[in-house]
Structure 1
Amino acid sequence: MSQWKRIQQLEIRHLEHVDYLYDDNFPMDIRQGLASWIEAQDWELASNDESVAMVMFSNLLTQMEKVRSQEQNFLQRHNLKIIHQQLQVKYSSNPALMARVICSCLKEERRILESACMQEQGPLEKSLQNSVALERQKNIDNRVGLIRGSVQLMDQAVKFIEDMQDDFDFRYKTLQSRDQAERNSEHMKQEVTRLQEMLNRLDFKRKEVLSKMDIVVKEIDDVMNSQLYPELQDWKRRQQITAIGGPQLTGLEQLQNWFTLTVQSLFQIKRQLDKLGELVLKVTYESDPIPLQKPQMEDKLKYLIYHLIKSSFVVEKQPCMPTHPQKPLIIKTGVQFTTKVRLLVKLPEVDYQLKVKTTFDNRQFFILTNNTKVMDIEDYSNGCLSVEFRHLQLKEKKYINGTKGNEGLLSVTEELHSLSFEACFTVQGLTIDLEICSLPLVVISNVSQLPGGWASVMWYNLLTDEPKNLTFFTNPPRANWTQLSEVLSWQFSAQAGRGLDKEQLTMLGEKLLGHHVSCSDYQVSWSRFSKENIPGKSFSFWMWLDSILELIKKHLLPVWSENYIMGFVSKETERILLKDKEPGTFLLRFSESHLGGITFTWVDREDNGEVKFNSVEPYTKNRLSALPFADIIRDYKVISEGVVKENPLKFLYPNIPKDEAFGRLYNSPPSKGETGNSSSVISTPPPSQSPEPPMTPGEFNMLNEHLCFDIDSVSTQTHTKYTQENTSGGKTPGLLVLVRAGTRGRSERQVL
């Protein structure tokens, strides 16, 4: 079943979250009409390769035209035409942006499906998606809307005062122009009385509008401090969570709308106050409220405008290498990385030649490439200013005598750095200095440091929201296992398409914490997670887990996506699960003794009925690079006493026939003359230490067709190497190697 069909079967509460994903950037009409085609494309590749993105964008438009031509509903055809035009305008010059948008939506769909299948979300994800937050946002919408309405009404009030004052001014000047003899007449006395009444009403209206201004300004101040700034901080916190694999980040457009409407209200009040100041130049009097209250109110308005605009300068996309889009905030020297800043307020008055300068913290690195760019208007962001630095690159400084100063205090992957952005502009007489920092970065010089750097990024962003705490790892806090396990599940969800279930997380907890895993609030130290070796092993817990992630991404993704890999299960639990199953029942789990290895164990029975378990040596990335894992399962054979036996793997745990489970995942046909789940020889790849390149499936099949000798009758020059232990828990190698004399006096190794 397609991902989109599964989405449509969710409960309303989940569908509401799905609805939130789709907007003008990626309309749901397209997701619906091109569901199968969209899911079949590699959007992640396109998001990091402009040429691929351009081809896929063109293909998308072609697919849309095809769907539109087949659509019977006139209105829907019209809508598709409009959407087609909008997408061309938005993405023709930047198709990779479209790929990133679609990729993000698909990932978030998978997360929603995953959370819907689990009994409950983790505490971090719950805190980001709750009804309280939605109510809070509705409240901000209402308050900002009411403020805008009040400011509009004050415009009318100021205009009314202006008209009233013009009337008063005209009558007053008319009275002044009369002869002295007329001024003492009864008519003139009545006119003076009327003028006094007009002045009293004018004074009352001036006081009234100033009072309303004061109330609105205080309301804006309260909204900014009690709601807008906390909402912005909440968005920044959610950005941290998204950076380490959490739920897709949303809400920036909403923040932009609130900030823009609020700053527009402040500027409008400022203009109204300026207008009142102009009126004072024409008519003033003793105890005139405008000169008395205007200076203080102006200062308050300037203060609010300054801080609102200053806080609206945000890092929209944290620094990230395009080669590792799922691991932001790690920068390798000499490799380009991208980042993007944005101004959340839309101000027509702002000079659009606004230059942003980015600098790296002044220690042992500096930015090699151009570090200054001009902000520009983005149409799809409703006209706000932003700038994306796409080609930044770091270089390490050369030091005299090779000394770096702080070297030795922390490991490279624990040293945190900061990327700063600065700009300055003037608007309506206000000079505003903009400055914002990225989240702390880890700088590496070799890709082998990537896993350690990512552990630091995860730990930091899980446990603190202080963006300038660069000394975090001098005394790193402990992590609560409940939250840490959720973040570990996110790694599999974000990088391998499916997170970990409760049982898998429990096994990981047992490996990391032992019996303490039953305590959900147990505190895990940084050292235990990432630095200390697992007892009896030469690697840490995180290095072991990260190597499994890499193995899944590169070699096991189809099998993992189908939920066929139990993965994290101890040998003891494995035997408990298999002992009462049909002979030939097997399960797949990750090796605990190898970095990045997967093994399978099957259950069998002796003639006397005694249960025995057979496990193969773990398959690592080197061995899995030759053949897909599903094909290995299909063609696996055991050699016993020189005899090739049939495939012992019959049922994937708990009771799924092997071909029913893996049939759709087979990449190559079985060997010629064989069908079903049997094969004449083992088609597993050579061991990692073999100096020869592995055979392709085609080479292997050709070899298999010409092998017409009986293994037991091979000449004395042929030696069969194999080992097998069929005792309880014994291991059977995942391959058979024939070593026979070559035609030119050398040995030829052939994998059978």
Structure 2
Amino acid sequence: MAAIVSNTLNEEKSLVCQESTTMAQQKDLDHKVNKLKKSVQEIEQDIQVLEDLQYEYDFKKNTLEGQVEAETNGRTTTEMQQEEMGITVLNIKIEVVIKEMANVLTLAEQIQHTLISDELPEWKKRQQMACIGGPHNTCLEHLQSWFTAVAECLQQIRQQLKKVQELVQKFTYNNDPLTLGKSQLDEQALSLFKNLISNSLVVDRQPCIPHYPQRPLVLKMGVQFKVKIRLLVKLPELNCQPKVKISIDKGFSEMDTVKGFRNFLLLTNHTKVMNLDESSECLAAEFPHVILKERTPSNRTNEWSLSLTIYEELHLISFDTQLILPDLCIDLSITCLPVVLLSAGMSNTIVPGLVSSAWGSILWYNMLCSEPHNLTFFLNPPPVKWEQLSKVISWQFSSVTKRALNSEQLRTLADKLLGHETRDDPEGLVHWKTFLHTSVESGGSLLHWIYEHLQLTKLNVLSIWNDGYIMGFLSKEREKAFLIDKPPGTFLLRFSESCREGGIIITWVEHSQDGEPVVHSAKPYTRADMNRIPLPNFIRDYTVTAGEKDPVNPLVYLYPDIPRDVAFGRYYTSASDGRDFTFTYTVGLLYALHTFVMCHIWHAKETAQIPK
């Protein structure tokens, strides 16, 4: 218990520190972006001052030239000095503007480097963790606001450079500082803008089947899936309705020669126009009805063999588009996280464990792969620390319910994966094959056991699970230890290891004639059973017969000491629900008929002016 509390407190401290660090980084970036926007506005004001000075100089020069022509005596030394002084003032102001622009571009480059090298990869990592059940607050809006702000500033700088150039072209100055530095600044601003736009295309929603939004990246052939991409920069000049092309395994031609690696076709409209998304007000394109079909296998010579099963074979879906602006053309490309493609018709009933194995592959890849698009990851998958794996397994429950796995449930899973001796070692390593092939009593894998009981929890006992009334993953030894010292009639609920498609085992304690506690278990209550009779009703109506005694319900207190009806009373459904409904409906109909008759009689009396 002390170790559990210590680990929990350390984890909480780590999360608080991490959140504080993240908030500090965001505030620092917000400060830099605001400074950039303020500096650009100051340059705009300086350019306006420069424009006023030039027009003032132009007016004075034209006036002096008119006087000289009228007097035909030439310009005096004082007039020439005044003209040179005006040119000097203009040159100084231009130098100030050029230096300000150079400083702004340097700041913009620093911010852009932070966005592309730090913030964007961190967001992609957060999205990757969200795909396997992690926290869903990916903060894409923050990223979009920063990208947009820098892009706006770069475009303003480019326009300011053009404006200053137009002003200077009206006059010819000696050693013009703008002519010396303008070309370099223009190229720098253009390069920064193109680089920012090129990195602003992201996958807003990773590929997923609509019926399973909490299981992205596991797809089936012949079953529609959807995916959405988004541009993080929001500028009016980008609303040119670019066309996006979708493709699968693009640019990975080396996989074409791999024995056993399947090739697929996309059955959809391969191009889609990016339009303004109402929620983000950015350009976005959603492909809502994409279907995959396997190509006919070819008889070409294979250079090397990929000894992977279907659920270990990864594929990539890519998007390409082009932004064509009046003076600029930018190519953009983005690729989704790797997906696992199951054959058409495959399901848990036809191929037991295949869907759960594919789900496990997605967990393993996104936990451990440091390379973004490594299709050969499962040729030599690295092991994972139990501390990390247990957190991800717990995420699977917290992402679809209100309750994550507790330390007791994780301890049971650790016992099966690591053994009793190493279960408390957070550094204990779990290998992919161990995770995939460790079996339970039913003969299925541990991974399949976890997956099926997750489905059972979500579809059949969600409210009871959220209330904390189901122990879940619990060994028989720990089950007995919990109940042995409890009063007779105390019972608990745990997941069954013998049911391949998931089930709940009810175990209770009673005392023998000599006063010794004895633990009994009912047969597993399966998902099929729950579809006929809800679990709370089964607990309420469960009875056993001992000898010649009348049947009794041995389930009295839910562990640790909650009366059965207090725990499950609000979930009971009456066996006479149908009769009660018929009676209520009949009474209501009679009341309506009575009201109609009385109103008709009242109306007749009013019409005939008969005293009531």
Fold shared per TM-score above 0.5: yes
The alpha-carbon deviation at position 666 of structure 1 amounts to 1.3
The alpha-carbon deviation at position 601 of structure 1 amounts to 1.3
Q: Cα distance 1:375–1:122, how it changes in 2: closer, same or farther (>3 A)?
A: farther
Q: Distance in 1 between matches of 2:18 and 2:68?
A: 78
Q: Cα distance 1:125–1:176, how it changes in 2: closer, same or farther (>3 A)?
A: same
The alpha-carbon deviation at position 320 of structure 1 amounts to 0.7
Residue 517 of structure 1 aligns to a residue in which SS? coil
The alpha-carbon deviation at position 407 of structure 1 amounts to 7.2
Determine which of 210, 221, 227 is the counterpart of 2:109: 221
The alpha-carbon deviation at position 181 of structure 1 amounts to 9.5
Match status 1:432 vs 2:338: no
Residue 349 of structure 1 aligns to a residue in which SS? helix
Which deviations, in whole Å up to 9, do the C-alpha atoms of 1:73-96 show, x marking residues without a partner?
A: xxxxxxxxxxxxxxxxxxxxxxxx
Q: Is the 8 A contact 1:124 1:486 kept in 2?
A: no
Q: Which residue of 2 aligns with 1:513?
A: 418
Equivalent pairs, count: 553
Q: Which residue of 1 aligns with 2:241?
A: 353
Q: Distance in 2 between matches of 1:534 and 1:432?
A: 53
Residue 639 of structure 1 aligns to a residue in which SS? coil
Counting only pairs closer than 5 Å after superposition, residues 63-462 of structure 1 correspond to structure 2 as 126=15, 130-179=19-68, 188-227=76-115, 229-361=117-249, 364-381=263-280, 383-400=281-298, 409-445=307-343, 446-448=346-348, 449-462=354-367
Residue 513 of structure 2 aligns to a residue in which SS? coil
The alpha-carbon deviation at position 405 of structure 1 amounts to 8.9
TM-score with structure 2 setting the length: 0.85
Q: Distance in 1 between matches of 2:459 and 2:279?
A: 35
Q: Distance in 2 between matches of 1:218 and 1:466?
A: 31
Q: Cα distance 1:379–1:567, how it changes in 2: closer, same or farther (>3 A)?
A: closer
Determine which of 578, 584, 589 is the counterpart of 2:489: 584
Q: Distance in 1 between matches of 2:196 and 2:361?
A: 33
Q: Which residue of 2 aligns with 1:539?
A: 444
Q: What amino acid sits opposite 2:107 in the alignment? A: E
Q: Cα distance 1:562–1:579, how it changes in 2: closer, same or farther (>3 A)?
A: same
Q: Distance in 1 between matches of 2:546 and 2:194?
A: 81
Q: Is the 8 A contact 2:239 2:283 kept in 1?
A: no
Q: What amino acid sits opposite 1:371 in the alignment? A: H
The alpha-carbon deviation at position 465 of structure 1 amounts to 4.7
- Structure ranking higher on relative contact order (CA contacts 8 Å, 6+ apart): 2
The alpha-carbon deviation at position 379 of structure 1 amounts to 3.1
Q: Cα distance 1:404–1:347, how it changes in 2: closer, same or farther (>3 A)?
A: farther
Which deviations, in whole Å up to 9, do the C-alpha atoms of 1:220-278 show, x marking residues without a partner?
A: 10011124541121111111111111112341112111111110100000011111221
Q: Is the 8 A contact 1:237 1:465 kept in 2?
A: no
Residue 269 of structure 2 aligns to a residue in which SS? coil
Percent identical among aligned pairs is 42
The alpha-carbon deviation at position 624 of structure 1 amounts to 2.6
Q: Distance in 1 between matches of 2:189 and 2:515?
A: 87
Q: Distance in 2 between matches of 1:453 and 1:371?
A: 26
The alpha-carbon deviation at position 408 of structure 1 amounts to 5.6
Q: Distance in 1 between matches of 2:214 and 2:294?
A: 24
Residue 496 of structure 1 aligns to a residue in which SS? coil
Which deviations, in whole Å up to 9, do the C-alpha atoms of 1:403-456 show, x marking residues without a partner?
A: 999876211111111111111012241210010011111111113332111111
Q: Distance in 2 between matches of 1:470 and 1:183?
A: 85
Q: Is the 8 A contact 1:378 1:385 kept in 2?
A: yes
User: Unaligned stretches of 5+ in structure 1?
Assistant: 1-117, 672-696, 699-752
Determine which of 591, 607, 628 is the counterpart of 2:534: 628
Q: What amino acid sits opposite 1:205 in the alignment? A: K
Q: Is the 8 A contact 1:122 1:486 kept in 2?
A: no
Q: Is the 8 A contact 1:220 1:262 kept in 2?
A: yes
Q: Distance in 2 between matches of 1:472 and 1:613?
A: 47
Q: Is the 8 A contact 1:319 1:438 kept in 2?
A: yes
The alpha-carbon deviation at position 622 of structure 1 amounts to 2.6
Q: Distance in 2 between matches of 1:402 and 1:304?
A: 45
Q: Is the 8 A contact 2:240 2:324 kept in 1?
A: no
Residue 468 of structure 1 aligns to a residue in which SS? coil
Q: Which residue of 1 aligns with 2:393?
A: 488
Q: Cα distance 1:508–1:125, how it changes in 2: closer, same or farther (>3 A)?
A: farther
The alpha-carbon deviation at position 556 of structure 1 amounts to 2.0
Q: Distance in 2 between matches of 1:124 and 1:230?
A: 24
The alpha-carbon deviation at position 124 of structure 1 amounts to 12
Q: Cα distance 1:406–1:489, how it changes in 2: closer, same or farther (>3 A)?
A: farther
Match status 1:611 vs 2:511: no
RMSD: 2.6
Of residues 430-439 and 566-575 in structure 1, the stretch that sits farther from structure 2 once superposed is 566-575
Q: What amino acid sits opposite 1:602 in the alignment? A: W
Q: Distance in 1 between matches of 2:309 and 2:302?
A: 13
Q: What amino acid sits opposite 2:573 in the alignment? A: N
The alpha-carbon deviation at position 636 of structure 1 amounts to 0.9
Q: Is the 8 A contact 2:440 2:449 kept in 1?
A: no
Q: Cα distance 1:565–1:471, how it changes in 2: closer, same or farther (>3 A)?
A: same
The alpha-carbon deviation at position 139 of structure 1 amounts to 1.2
Residue 96 of structure 2 aligns to a residue in which SS? helix
Which deviations, in whole Å up to 9, do the C-alpha atoms of 1:375-397 show, x marking residues without a partner?
A: 1112332x311111111111111
Q: Distance in 2 between matches of 1:570 and 1:485?
A: 17
Match status 1:479 vs 2:377: no
Q: Distance in 1 between matches of 2:396 and 2:452?
A: 12
Q: Distance in 2 between matches of 1:670 and 1:485?
A: 45
The alpha-carbon deviation at position 340 of structure 1 amounts to 0.7
Q: Is the 8 A contact 1:416 1:470 kept in 2?
A: yes
User: Unaligned stretches of 5+ in structure 2?
Assistant: 1-6, 251-261, 349-353, 580-612
Q: Distance in 1 between matches of 2:143 and 2:63?
A: 54
The alpha-carbon deviation at position 128 of structure 1 amounts to 10
Q: Which residue of 2 aligns with 1:6?
A: none
Residue 76 of structure 2 aligns to a residue in which SS? helix
Q: Is the 8 A contact 1:419 1:437 kept in 2?
A: yes
Q: Cα distance 1:197–1:648, how it changes in 2: closer, same or farther (>3 A)?
A: same
Q: Which residue of 1 aligns with 2:555?
A: 649
TM-score with structure 1 setting the length: 0.70
Q: Is the 8 A contact 1:243 1:328 kept in 2?
A: yes
Q: Cα distance 1:620–1:258, how it changes in 2: closer, same or farther (>3 A)?
A: same
